[in-house]
Amino acid sequence: NAGVTQTPKFRVLKTGQSMTLLCAQDMNHEYMYWYRQDPGMGLRLIHYSVGEGTTAKGEVPDGYNVSRLKKQNFLLGLESAAPSQTSVYFCASTLEGYGANVLTFGAGSRLTVL
């Protein structure tokens, strides 16, 4: 049981390049989230999904897009990377119903934009 898996773990981009972060969970969770973690700012919600085929904006959505074509996968895309997007990105998921709001996190993806 892998839980929440994020790929890649590390990536260096040049300004203007695009990339996609993949989050996969094998727990049949309905809800999935993308957060970014920055020093002194904690975790901020970028986008989230309450089920397959649905996505919604979080606190800091600008510059990112997401897709949830399959229940187990939640993709985070950067169309044109900027240095301000240098961060550690965390994916998380949770059940619907009892136990909801208790998040299971991935190991994180460290992105550097030069």
Using CB under 8 A, list all residues that contact other proteins.
31, 33, 35, 40-45, 48, 50, 56, 58-59, 90, 92, 94, 96, 100-103, 105-108
CB of 85 to other proteins, least distance (A): 19
**Shortest distance (Å) from residue 24 CB to other proteins:** 15
Q: Is 17 or 58 the residue whose CB approaches other proteins more closely?
A: 58
Closer to other proteins by CB, 8 or 16: give it.
8
Report d(CA 26, CA 44) in Å as an integer: 24
3-state secondary structure of 85: helix
Q: How far is the CB of 93 from other proteins (least distance, A)?
A: 11
* Angle formed at CA 110 by CA 78 and CA 51, multiple of 5 degrees: 55
Nearer to other proteins among residue 75 and residue 92 (C-beta): 92
